[in-house]
Structure 1
Amino acid sequence: MNMTTTQSLRAQTCPDSVCLKTASRTFSIEQWEDMTKRASAWLLNQGEIGSTVAVNGQNRWETLLLFWAAARSGFVFMPLDPRMTEAERSERLQLAKPALYMNEDDLNELEHQLDQTAPSSYSHPAQNALFYSGFTSGSSGKPKQFARNQSSWLKSFEAGLADFPFSGTETAVIAGPIHHSLFLYGAAFALYTGQPILLTEKFLPDRLSVLLNETEPFVFYAVPTMLEAMQAVNGKGIVFLSGAGWSAERKKQWSSAHDQIRLFEFYGASELSFVSYMNPEDVQIRPSSSGKPSTGVTVEIRSGGAACAPFEIGTVYVNSPMLFSGYMEEGRCRIDLAEDGFYTVGDAGYVDEEGYLYIVGREQFMMISGGVNIYPEEVERIVIQCPDVEAAAVTSIPDDRLGERLVCLYTGKADQKTVRRFVKARLSVEKTPRRFIQTDALPLTSNGKVARAELKRIAEEWSQ
């Protein structure tokens, strides 16, 4: 089954129901189906089935339509961050070599093009065909292109329906950038299940708070910084939270302050989809964890090829029908599966005696100071709890005595002595950075992650 089939069936049974609303447009299911057929036909006129269409991934209905039409017609949809520099965009286009690239001007002309295109009823039948591609960044910020097939997302839809308590009346509010997998997934899940979508052009906290309060019940996809910025949400609904950096204390505080909103958090990755999730009860009793494995997922912690005991830190391995197809290398997908079908993105973690998963950090970023293994993420989680600290990133520089000496860069109004005292009271001496550097901004990759190599370079410069 093509992932767009359910939407086509609803166009026959409830054609007048709302499918998508933006600030300026509203589409019924019947209208969206007609536009999907026209966009599918238009894509088929532009290139061959299996070709990649790259799109300036702005939050607009045209972007979402091209994604849905690409899935229908057998193309590979590749959204690009509109905030990229020309050099970053060129690098990704050179790597992916798409048959078609749609920039902002092209999106502005799309509706006119579709008005002149006869609709096509073609639906690509192969679930194992690639349909979505994007980029992840390592510590150097160098982009790595990944790809997924429809089967992996269809399985994630099934897991979502099994694990999360939908009533069937929710409206999906998509306010984060849809070039990001989390928010594109939220929109795709809504189209698949028939949830009406409210798509906002930008994340404007005050305006979005009003929108959520007026939309009951809602399903809202968020990262921690979004929830921190929204202070007046009192509506009723579900929040799906993803992304590291929110402390256990803040999760509990936010949940207690919003008793009409059920907070679900999930751990995953572009390569893995859902791995584990926490329900509202878990947020209260195991707030530091990443929950228990999602439906259909098996998680194992391994070290040196052997399974770890509870509370023993090792590499997180995942066996799941939701895995990606691989990284693109010379036009082909390559995935390094273990012999037993398990896969890892290199996260380090452990499970407790009840099977709750805890993510410690990314193995490749691990530092050794004074003979102690230290993950920057575990230190960063403490630093950002300090009042008046907005964001933090930890790295290390060479040290003749310790091997590596920890350095923390942070943003916010807190002075260095205050931050040092706060962290020292909560972490061992070995894990407390020897130097704190207050800065206006942290070095980030185009995906919004800490650029670890640049961070280390900055720390070394400050320490000379």
Structure 2
Amino acid sequence: MMNITSTYPLRAQTCPEPFFVKTKEQTFTYKEWEDMTKRAAGWLLSVGHPGETIALTALNRWEVLVIFCGAARAGWTFMPLDPRMTKAEREERLRLAAPKLFIGKDSLAKIGQLIMNTEPTDFCSDDEEAIFYSGFTSGSSGVPKQFGRSHRSWIKSFEAGLTDFLLTGEETAVIAGPIHHSLFLYGAAFALYTGQRLILHEKFWPHHITQTLKETPSFVMYAVPTMLESLMKTNDIEGKGFVFLSGAGWSAERKQQWVTQYPNAALYEFYGASELSFVSYMTPKDYNHKPSSSGKLSTGVEIEIRHGSQVLPAGETGTVYVKSSMLFSGYVKDDSYEMNIEEDGFYTVGDAGYMDEDGYLHIIGREQFMMISGGVNVYPEEVERVILKYAGVKEAAVTSIHDIHLGERIVCLYTGRIDPITLKAYTKAYLSIEKMPRKWARVDSLPHTTNGKIARNELKKMALEVFM
């Protein structure tokens, strides 16, 4: 049976006593966690039916995690919402998803008590294609797009992770990022499925995290670049384990610095997306061998680089198409999930890149953001990666404005202490003239989507106001 909770009963029987899940408020043994997920499933089935959706404000609390597991067992769809959303943003997503239940942050404790007082159920959904998790991607416009994931897709990604990463089974997962984010929810689900002990931090406080890493004999920590930057500033990283990095924006130099300074906290990185799961991954050795790549392909993944219907050879840049058993179930359209997949099973999220002769994937940027300046294709992410190498830059975003001679004139808006003249001189050493921003502006802040990415449409409007 393919259900992401299907491994819980055996572990509850074979290792009932040691702690399994630990949060600020509660600690659960394997047996207690199995019991709580049965109670959460029982509660959901008492108020609705399999196939329905529960949305909630996803704070890093045990109640949210047990509702996630209970929903998966009950055949429900779990939809976590970012606690930092405005009321309007939250209401828009609830209108689009029309969940059976919505639980606000102030009701979590009450629901936790209701679950504790509910009789456990032995029911467990056996539909491997059922949507157990639904989230939203924002893209460049900030308009939310609801996607769905099946049990089968995540279990296949668990299996790929167990194959690709040298885990012993004795690790403790440290989840310090917000579990409304699919990376951290995935990390928690992987731990629960594989039997790793799990420590769920309420918030990301760097000194609390470093203390946990010291006290944990063997850890697995999931992180995005900003988290690792904050941890490095503490200069207090000890302990032994794995760090799984995801998310664009960390330079090859900073990754190499981590690998050199913290050899016991082995840095692995994976490229993927909410729609794709794992696509490729980097090992500590790869940071020396292929520092600017996105690594070798994950187990079970096929890739083709295409230009239209043509499959391109190694070294040529085109659209990255992915084929694997880990793909999502599609975006919501007319109350069902649809995906625009090719007849041969390949799918793209629109990333541009190439495969090199050694089988390493290189991601250049998102095709929909590509600019054409003076007849040359320029990806903003490629330029931003160079600018972000400068120590005085906090954030950088590149876009274009109309130019009668060039077609598009590349411009950069950034935050940080450095002045534009110095930054321009620095960047000139790393970029060809065609890719160099022609205008620069230091700003107080940059526009972001609710997922923390640069809001490209808003950025272009901002650039027009600043430069025109």
In the superposition, the TM-score normalised over structure 1's length comes to 0.99
Structure 2 counterparts to residues 147-186 of structure 1, below 5 A: 147-186=148-187
**1:48 Cα deviation after fit:** 1.4
Structure 2 counterparts to residues 342-421 of structure 1, below 5 A: 342-421=346-425
Aligned to 1:245: 249
1:181-225 CA deviation, whole Å, 9 max, x = no partner? 100000000000100101001111122112112212100000111
Equivalent AA in structure 2 for residue 286 of structure 1 = K
SS at match of 1:344: coil
Following the alignment from structure 1 to structure 2, what is the Cα–Cα distance between the partners of residues 98 and 304?
39
**1:111 Cα deviation after fit:** 2.3
**1:243 Cα deviation after fit:** 0.5
Equivalent AA in structure 2 for residue 401 of structure 1 = H
Aligned to 2:221: 220
Structure 2 counterparts to residues 284-363 of structure 1, below 5 A: 284-363=288-367
Following the alignment from structure 2 to structure 1, what is the Cα–Cα distance between the partners of residues 182 and 157?
13
- Given candidates 235, 238, 260, the residue that maps to 1:234 is 238
Q: Percent of aligned positions with the same letter in both sequences?
A: 60
Following the alignment from structure 1 to structure 2, what is the Cα–Cα distance between the partners of residues 435 and 156?
43
Following the alignment from structure 2 to structure 1, what is the Cα–Cα distance between the partners of residues 210 and 113?
34
1:324-376 CA deviation, whole Å, 9 max, x = no partner? 00000111011111111100000000010011000000000000011110000
1:52-98 CA deviation, whole Å, 9 max, x = no partner? 10010111111111111111110000000000000000000000000
SS at match of 2:285: helix
1:84-130 CA deviation, whole Å, 9 max, x = no partner? 00000000000000000011122120122123311111100111111
SS at match of 1:275: strand
Following the alignment from structure 1 to structure 2, what is the Cα–Cα distance between the partners of residues 167 and 78?
31
SS at match of 2:7: helix
Following the alignment from structure 2 to structure 1, what is the Cα–Cα distance between the partners of residues 185 and 418?
36
**1:24 Cα deviation after fit:** 2.6
Equivalent AA in structure 2 for residue 287 of structure 1 = P
Bigger mean CA deviation after superposition, 429-438 or 451-460? 429-438
- Give runs of ≥4 in structure 1 deviating > 2 Å: none
- Given candidates 235, 254, 261, the residue that maps to 1:257 is 261
Aligned to 1:113: 114
SS at match of 2:118: coil
Aligned to 1:425: 429
Aligned to 2:26: 25
Aligned to 2:99: 98
1:255-311 CA deviation, whole Å, 9 max, x = no partner? 000011211100000000000011111122111000111000001101121111111
Equivalent AA in structure 2 for residue 417 of structure 1 = I
2:46 aligned with 1:45, yes or no? yes
SS at match of 2:249: coil
**1:411 Cα deviation after fit:** 1.0
What 5-or-longer segments of structure 1 have no aligned partner? none
SS at match of 1:280: coil
Following the alignment from structure 2 to structure 1, what is the Cα–Cα distance between the partners of residues 283 and 358?
15
SS at match of 1:430: coil
1:15-36 CA deviation, whole Å, 9 max, x = no partner? 1121111123211111111111
Equivalent AA in structure 1 for residue 265 of structure 2 = I
SS at match of 2:372: strand
Aligned to 1:54: 55
Aligned to 1:144: 145
In the superposition, the TM-score normalised over structure 2's length comes to 0.98
SS at match of 2:203: coil
Aligned to 1:195: 196
Following the alignment from structure 1 to structure 2, what is the Cα–Cα distance between the partners of residues 183 and 97?
25
1:30-54 CA deviation, whole Å, 9 max, x = no partner? 1111111111000011211100100
Aligned to 1:211: 212
Following the alignment from structure 1 to structure 2, what is the Cα–Cα distance between the partners of residues 300 and 114?
47
1:141-178 CA deviation, whole Å, 9 max, x = no partner? 00000001100001001000000000111100000110
Aligned to 1:128: 129
SS at match of 1:342: coil
Following the alignment from structure 1 to structure 2, what is the Cα–Cα distance between the partners of residues 234 and 290?
27
Following the alignment from structure 1 to structure 2, what is the Cα–Cα distance between the partners of residues 197 and 391?
32
Equivalent AA in structure 1 for residue 179 of structure 2 = I
Following the alignment from structure 1 to structure 2, what is the Cα–Cα distance between the partners of residues 417 and 70?
55
Aligned to 1:275: 279
Aligned to 1:5: 6
Following the alignment from structure 1 to structure 2, what is the Cα–Cα distance between the partners of residues 56 and 46?
19
Equivalent AA in structure 2 for residue 288 of structure 1 = S
